[in-house]
Amino acid sequence: MSREAVLQVFRGTAEGGGPVEYRVPVAPGMVVLDALHYIQGHLAPDLAVRWNCKAGRCGSCSAEVNGRPKLTCKTRMDALPADRPITVAPMRTFPVIRDLVTDVSWNYEVNRRIPPFTPRPGTDWKMSQADIDRVQEFRRCIECFLCQDVCHVLREHGKTAQFGGPRFFVRIAGLEMHPLDAGSRTGLLKQELGIGLCNITKCCTEVCPEDIQITDNAIIPLKERVVDDYYDPIARFLKKIFGSGG
Amino acid sequence: MSNALGPGVRGEKYETHEHDVLIIGAGGAGLRAAIEALSRGASVGVVCKSLLGKAHTVMAEGGIAAAMANVDRADDWRAHFRDTMKGGKYLNNWRMAQLHAQEAPERVRELEQWGALFDRTPEGDILQRAFGGHSFKRLCHVGDRTGLEMIRTLQDRGVQMGIDVYMECAVTRLLKDGDRVCGAFGYWREQGRFVVFKAKSVVLATGGIGKAWRITSNSWEYTGDGMALAYDAGAELQDMEFVQFHPTGMVWPPGVQGILVTEAVRGEGGVLTNRLGERFMQRYDPKQMDLSTRDVVARAIYTEVREGRGSEHGGAYLDISHKPADYVKRKLPGMYHQFRELADVDITKGPMEVGPTCHYMMGGVRVDAETASATVPGLFAAGEVAAGLHGANRLGGNSLSDLVVFGRRAGLAAAEHANRAGAGSPGAAQVEEAAREMLVFFERPEGESPYAVHRDLESTMEEFVGIFRNEQDLARGLEKLAELSERSRRIHVEGSRLFNPGWHLARDLKSMLTVSEAVARSALARKESRGAHSRTDYPKVDPEWGGRNIVVRRGTRAMELAERPLLLPPAELQALLAEST
């Protein structure tokens, strides 16, 4: 293959940096992560990139490609305009450590605050597939944090202290809607993770590489639960007892 | 994680952390070990090279094997034991195979109790699917993302229990006090600072060595670290000649070559054909056909390609499109997306192209079946880094169950060992030597690129230590490895210590070269064909060799090989093995 692509990759640290141009030979089916590996292997051995599976399963290689939050392992070079350089920048919402590697430790701190799965006492562990289909959707999350990156509450307003972000609403939805879970996390959602700050612009849903319907299937039902618990606790109690699930 | 961010023990030159049990690796085995050790009251630290939740377990697709008998009522641990031994060509550690088969169902139930959501049967139980070499439907699964479900469940459980996780931290050396292991030395990938861990017990859970081959399903992390660390510390490695090539990796386009195509495609009814449209497995295993064991299917595809009957891009065709599209998308969603997005193939409409890819290491640290302890005091190993359970060939689905069964056992034994053992002291000299080894790469004004040496290592292993082996190739491979070893001593690293992948690779290469040498030497020594080890110059199974494991250990000047008699199962289990399935 003789075609060359031009990449402008952010190089730098927390102190500053900017795009550096690299020319990379293009092979059929090549993805952006392949190009970054080529740069590491031949042009810039210290280019910092996170990756693991290279198959869209681990969620490590998130970056902003031509300004869009993407998994670089699933972003085909031939899907990007060939007439201009491809820009690759780190996720903007998180502090840069070096080059494309950002400090995502805040996400792990949020995660630790979520009460675990709490099985109902005396359960026989029988569940029907229909009842777990929607929870399995949430559990597809690969923690690429692209939804956190694109969420304007975090990206534009920096509200990491008051807001959990779409990733953790998805995680909580997976616990709250688990057919055998007896815990309640609505207090956490309302008071600490600020679910009310989300105004359902669906940016998170659009960037999810796992096609999880974050807004419609996770955030909106959780907002309803918060409303039920805080403004109509009796209705919520009855729902829980009679298992309509809502 | 507070410990990871806090200051080190006062008065130490390097940041220092102390734990009863230090676990290296945060995949399924490491996390299960951590949970067990914590529940026994030990203080536990887990060190991992990547972010938490990204370990290789996340890529396991098809399922976890456990004789729950939810679908096939006749299944039980005896059948699972027999299948595992048969698949491993009876070179397995029989006691590990027995414990594994007996304990796997309980470990799966436990995952469910911690929040894992497996696919269900119509009765509401955990659904199980067929897989190669398993005589019953045995694999509990979640579509084709079982590993993700498992690692998320273990990760959340461990974090809730309060494990200290040292993320993006790499261990380069085990520290010893006399004969026993008493800690580890490593560096933070982010800042490049050095760190010392003191521990009464150390559990290796670092996975395999797939990054030494060019076509591989393994990630950058799979550089044989745990095996090399154990070897350097004086422990024995075992069965290193047995490297599993998964029969179905992607072959086209070039960038995706090697990415795993789950065996669940065949488990759900997928059919292999060659360029002529023949179901070629008829020639290699007419009884089990497409669901034969991985060693057999990998050799079959390789042979079809070599003899000119390969697919367009040098593989075989794998077709599941005769099943309803909705069913395929529901049971194999990852495969559907992977092929659609990376290869422009709609697997509900036409075949995939697949070929062998380096996938798994059956060999590893020689361990005791009950306790997962290595041959060096204070050291334990579980999961892919350990040898024994799988013998000469691993059955699909037996890896995830291995992780939780022996992860738990390692964590338990490590905690008990920590209770009995006092704290050791490594002394300053070892630590200084470990630090010097990491800094030398920057001190050379110029030299070899770690990436270039790695590319040549991958080609060497692919060419000379691949699916089919012979004396001439293996000898040539060993010569090449010696040259690469020499070149690795001249590696120069550019840039700073701040998140520098070139520097990290320079160190990982040392582990890869050690383990690659152990693989090639063991493969040269075993003059027979058994399981995943195929010698064209010794094409038959040799009963003499069936009674021996090859072990590798560090000699005073060079790598030493020895043979150990295979442990024989008691009479009642031998009778069980003699029964036909």
Write down the pLDDT at residue A235.
73
- Shortest distance between the Cα of A136 and any Cα of chain B, in A, equals 7
pTM score, whole prediction: 0.96
Better pLDDT: A232 or B69: B69
Give, as one character, the DSSP assignment of residue B210: G
Write down the pLDDT at residue B580.
67
Catalytic residue, candidates B246, B409, B504, B530: B246
State the average pLDDT over residues B56-71: 96
- Residues from chain A that touch B337, judged by Cβ atoms under 8 A, are 56
Q: Which residue has the tokens 């701040």?
A: B498
- Residues from chain A that touch B342, judged by Cβ atoms under 8 A, are 29, 31, 74, 76
* pLDDT, mean over chain A: 94
Are the C-beta atoms of B341 and A210 separated by less than 8 Å?
Answer: no
pLDDT band at A246 (very low <50, low <70, confident <90, very high): very low
In the residue annotation, B19 being an active-site residue is answered as no
Question: Are B115 and A125 inside 8 Å of each other by CB?
Answer: no
Question: Are A125 and B145 inside 8 Å of each other by CB?
Answer: no
To which H or E segment does residue B553 belong? strand B548-554
**Distances, alpha carbon B401 to alpha carbons B63, B203, B530, in Å:** 9, 18, 23
- Residues from chain A that touch B496, judged by Cβ atoms under 8 A, are 46
From the list B144, B94, B107, B166, the residue with the least C-alpha distance to B402 is B107
Helix extents (H) in B289-365: 294-306, 325-331, 333-343
Question: Are B253 and A48 inside 8 Å of each other by CB?
Answer: no
**Whole-number Å distance between alpha carbons of B273 and B277:** 5
Tokens of B487: 């070149």
State the average pLDDT over residues A42-67: 97
- Shortest distance between the Cα of B529 and any Cα of chain A, in A, equals 31
In the residue annotation, B157 being an active-site residue is answered as no
Q: Is A102 on the interface with B (CB under 8 A)?
A: no
Which pairs from B492-497 meet CB under 8 Å and 24+ separation? B492/B441, B492/B442, B492/B444, B492/B445, B492/B446, B492/B447, B492/B448, B492/B449, B493/A45, B493/A46, B493/B441, B493/B442, B493/B450, B494/A45, B494/A46, B495/A45, B495/A46, B496/A46, B496/B192, B497/B187, B497/B191, B497/B192, B497/B193, B497/B442
- Shortest distance between the Cα of A156 and any Cα of chain B, in A, equals 25
What interface predicted TM-score (ipTM) does this complex get? 0.94
Write down the pLDDT at residue A231.
83
Catalytic residue, candidates B266, B366, B390, B504: B266
- Shortest distance between the Cα of B581 and any Cα of chain A, in A, equals 31
Write down the pLDDT at residue A3.
87
Instruction: Return the residue of B nearest to A132 by Cα.
Output: B117
Question: Are B148 and A142 inside 8 Å of each other by CB?
Answer: yes
Residues 6+ apart with CB under 8 A from A65: A32, A72, A75, A80, A86, A87, A88
Write down the pLDDT at residue B581.
53
Q: What is the pLDDT of residues B368-389, one digit of tens each?
A: 999 999 999 999 999 999 999 9
Give the helix, strand, coil percentages of chain B, each rounded to 5. Answer: 40, 20, 40
Q: Is A116 on the interface with B (CB under 8 A)?
A: yes
Assess whether pLDDT exceeds 80 at residue A242: no
Write down the pLDDT at residue A243.
57
Backbone angles phi, psi at A84, to 5 degrees: -145, 160
Tokens of B270: 């997928």
Q: What is the pLDDT of residues B562-571, one digit of tens each?
A: 999 999 999 9
- Residues from chain B that touch A142, judged by Cβ atoms under 8 A, are 58, 148
Q: Is A28 on the interface with B (CB under 8 A)?
A: yes
Q: Which residue has the tokens 């195509």?
A: B261
To which H or E segment does residue B411 belong? helix B398-420
Instruction: Return the residue of B nearest to A72 by Cα.
Output: B342
pLDDT band at A1 (very low <50, low <70, confident <90, very high): very low
Question: Are A27 and B254 inside 8 Å of each other by CB?
Answer: yes
pLDDT band at B8 (very low <50, low <70, confident <90, very high): very low
- Residues from chain A that touch B162, judged by Cβ atoms under 8 A, are none
* Cβ–Cβ pairs < 8 A, chains A and B: 162
Question: Are A46 and B260 inside 8 Å of each other by CB?
Answer: no
pLDDT band at A238 (very low <50, low <70, confident <90, very high): confident
* 3-state SS class at B65: strand
State the average pLDDT over residues B39-47: 97
State the average pLDDT over residues A57-84: 96
Helix extents (H) in B444-500: 450-464, 471-488
From the list B507, B521, B506, B509, the residue with the least C-alpha distance to B551 is B521
* CB contact residues (below 8 A), chain A span 187-246, against chain B: none
Residue type, B228: A
Q: What is the pLDDT of residues A110-134, one digit of tens each?
A: 999 999 999 999 999 999 999 999 9
Q: What is the pLDDT of residues A135-167, one digit of tens each?
A: 999 999 999 999 999 999 999 999 999 999 999
Write down the pLDDT at residue B6.
34
pLDDT band at A192 (very low <50, low <70, confident <90, very high): very high
Tokens of B387: 């040898």
Q: What is the pLDDT of residues B114-139, one digit of tens each?
A: 999 999 999 999 999 999 999 999 99
**Whole-number Å distance between alpha carbons of B363 and A201:** 51
Write down the pLDDT at residue B100.
98
Q: Which residue has the tokens 């949020």?
A: A110
pLDDT band at B12 (very low <50, low <70, confident <90, very high): low
Other C-beta atoms closer than 10 Å to the C-beta of A177 total 21
Residue type, A118: T
Backbone angles phi, psi at B279, to 5 degrees: -80, 85
B169 forms bridges with which residues in the sheet? B188
Residues in chain A: 246
Residues 6+ apart with CB under 8 A from A125: A180, B109, B112, B113, B125
Assess whether pLDDT exceeds 80 at residue B313: yes
Write down the pLDDT at residue B10.
47
Q: What is the pLDDT of residues A214-231, one digit of tens each?
A: 999 999 999 999 999 888
User: Sign (positive/negative) of CA torsion B396, B398, B401, B406?
Assistant: negative
User: Sign (positive/negative) of CA torsion B300, B304, B307, B313?
Assistant: negative
User: Sign (positive/negative) of CA torsion A13, A17, A18, A23?
Assistant: negative
Q: What is the pLDDT of residues B74-100, one digit of tens each?
A: 999 999 999 999 999 999 999 999 999
State the average pLDDT over residues B505-523: 98
Tokens of B558: 């060079």
Q: What is the pLDDT of residues B174-232, one digit of tens each?
A: 999 999 999 999 999 999 999 999 999 999 999 999 999 999 999 999 999 999 999 99
Assess whether pLDDT exceeds 70 at residue B24: yes
Question: Are B334 and A57 inside 8 Å of each other by CB?
Answer: yes
Write down the pLDDT at residue B435.
96
To which H or E segment does residue B96 belong? helix B94-113
State the average pLDDT over residues B2-28: 74
Q: Strands A86-89, A4-13: parallel, antiparallel or unpaired by DSSP?
A: parallel
- Shortest distance between the Cα of B442 and any Cα of chain A, in A, equals 12
Write down the pLDDT at residue A233.
73
Write down the pLDDT at residue B487.
98
